[in-house]
Amino acid sequence: MDLNRREAGTRGRLRRSVVTVVMACALTACSGQQGQITASTSPVPATAEIVQRPTTFPPAPTHRLGYDNAKYWTQRAFTETGPKTGRSYALDAPAQRRALALADALGLAATPISFGANPWQAAQGTAKLEIWPDSGGRWRYRRQSTISGSATVDDRQARALARPVLRAAGLDPAGARADHSTAVLEPRVQGHPTWGWETEIHLDAKGVVYASGWLGPTRAETERALLAAAQAFTRLQQQAARPRKASKACPAVFRPHSPGCPPPTVPSLVTGARFAYALDWGLEGHRPRLVPAWLFTRQGVPAPAVFAA
C-alpha cells in the first residue's frame, strides 16, 4: 500500500499506512434476477454517512453532559452569568499527520499506524496507541497492560515529561496542571472552561505509563440563544423529575452498554452554578460535541448535574 511520507521536521522517516477496504452490499443492496447480480434502483443518499463500527470502544470520558433522576432544589437565587448566545462544537476526525506526531512523542516513531482500521493503531511490544477517528480523535496509550509504573515523579518532572505529548496533540502545555505523577490539561473554548474534554497523562521516571485525550479539531455549529442559569435550573427540575432510561441523561462516569440510569436519588441541594462547554457523548462515543452547559454543584455530591444551556 501507499507509504505516508512525513512532513518536514519529522526526520524524514517513512511510515506504512495499512488500509483495509471492505466491500459489501450494504452500500448498494444486491439482488439476483435471472442469474444476474444487479444493484438496487435505490441509491445511497449523497448525505449518508458510512461509519465503520470500531472493533473496540473508545475509553469513556470521566465527565460529560448529564444528570441524575432526582428532585433538585436550592436555597439561593442564581446570579451567575454566562454568554447570551453561543454554539456547540463538533469534534471531527483528526488529520493523519497529527496521529503520526503523537506516535512520535510516545516513542512509536518506527511503528506503522493502521489508518484503515477503526481505531487507528500502532503497537510496539507491550506499548499500544489507539485513535478513534469517528469519536473526535479520542485516543489512548498504554505502555503496558497495567497502569502502574515505576518510581513516581514530582509535579515539575511530570509537566516536563508530558510537554512533548501535549504539543503533539496540538495543545499548549502551559495550561497543564500536575499532581501525583499525573499531568492534566483541560482546553478552553472561547475563553470558557470545558467539562470532559481533558487530556490526562500518567507518568513515572521512564516516561508515559498511560494517557488519553482528544486529537480531533473542533468545528463550530450554528449560533443560538442560550439559557441563563436560572432558566436551565428550572428545566433541570422539570426533566429530572421524569423517569428516563436514556444513558445520555446519566451523569459523570459512563460505560458503553451500561444498564441505563440508576434509580432516582435523594433530593439534591444545588449550591451553585458555573458555565462551561460540556462533552456530549453518545452510546458508542460516535461524533461527540462540546455543548454550552451549566454545571450545577450539589451539596455532598462530588459530581455536578450538567444541563445544556
Assess whether 243 and 279 both reside in one domain. Answer: yes
Q: Is the pTM of this model over 0.95?
A: no
Per-residue confidence (pLDDT) for residue 147, from 0 to 100: 62
Check whether residue 183 and residue 45 sit in a common domain.
yes
- Report the distance separating Cα 98 and Cα 143, nearest Å: 20
What ranges make up the beta strands (E) of 101-195?
Answer: 120-124, 127-132, 138-142, 177-179, 182-185, 194-195
Same domain? 36 vs 79? no
**pLDDT tier, 52 (very low <50, low <70, confident <90, very high otherwise):** low
Which tens digits make up the pLDDT trace of 165-192? Answer: 999 999 999 999 999 899 999 999 999 9
In whole angstroms, give the CA distance from residue 66 to residue 296. Answer: 11
| C-beta separation of 52 from 22 below 8 A | yes
Condensed to tens digits (0 to 9), the pLDDT of residues 125-150 reads: 999 999 999 999 999 999 986 666 56
Question: Quick one: pLDDT band at residue 39, thresholds 50, 70, 90?
Answer: very low
Are residues 194 and 181 located together in one domain of the fold? yes
User: Is 60 exceeded by the pLDDT of residue 253?
Assistant: no
Number of compact structural domains in the chain: 2
Residue at 35 is within a domain: yes
Residues 207 and 267 in one domain: no
Say how far apart CA 294 and CA 274 lie, in whole Å.
6
165 in Cβ contact with 208 (< 8 Å)? yes
61, part of any domain: no
> Considering the domain boundaries, does residue 240 fall inside one?
yes
65 within some domain: no
DSSP 68: -
CA atoms of 193 and 173, how far apart (whole Å): 16
Residue 113 and residue 15 in contact, taking contact as beta carbons nearer than 8 Å: yes
- 226 in the same domain as 212: no
**Pairing mode, strands 268-280 and 289-298:** antiparallel
Classify residue 57: in a domain, yes or no.
Answer: no
Q: What does the block give as the cell for 169? A: 496533540
Q: Is residue 289 part of a domain?
A: yes
Indicate if 131 and 237 belong to the same structural domain.
no
Check: CB of residue 109 under 8 Å from CB of residue 129: no
Listed residue (273, 302, 278, 307) closest to 290, CA to CA: 278
Q: What distances in angstroms separate CA 206 from CA 107, 114, 118, 152, 211, one per listed residue?
A: 11, 26, 29, 10, 14
Q: How confident is the model at residue 239 (pLDDT cuts 50, 70, 90)?
A: confident
Examine the domain organization and report whether 187 and 287 are in the same domain.
Answer: no
Residue 158 shares a structural domain with residue 31: yes
Whether residue 163 is found in the same domain as residue 198: yes
268-280 and 72-74 beta bridge pairing: parallel
Spatial CB neighbours of 13, under 8 Å, sequence gap ≥ 6: 6, 109, 110
Domain edge (last residue) among 198, 216, 234 = 216
pLDDT band at 44 (very low <50, low <70, confident <90, very high): very low
Distance CA 141, CA 145 (A): 10
Name the region of 239 (left: φ>0; alpha: ψ -120 to 50; beta: rest). alpha
pLDDT-derived band of residue 264, with 50, 70 and 90 as boundaries?
low
Q: Do both 84 and 98 map to the same domain? A: no
- 101 φ, ψ (degrees, to nearest 5): -65, -40
Q: Is residue 289 a contact partner of residue 137, using CB atoms and an 8 Å limit?
A: no
Which residues lie closer than 8 Å to 22 by C-beta, 6 or more apart? 52
Which residue range is the domain that position 280 belongs to? 72-88+221-308
Query: Poorest-confidence range of 196-210, 212-226, 263-277?
Result: 263-277
Q: Does 237 lie in the same domain as 197?
A: no
| Distance (Å, whole) CA 274 – CA 272 | 7
Query: Residue 165, by phi and psi: left (phi above 0), alpha (psi -120 to 50) or beta?
Result: alpha
Residue whose C-alpha is closest to residue 184's, from 170, 202, 206, 168: 202
Residue 64 belongs to some domain of the structure: no
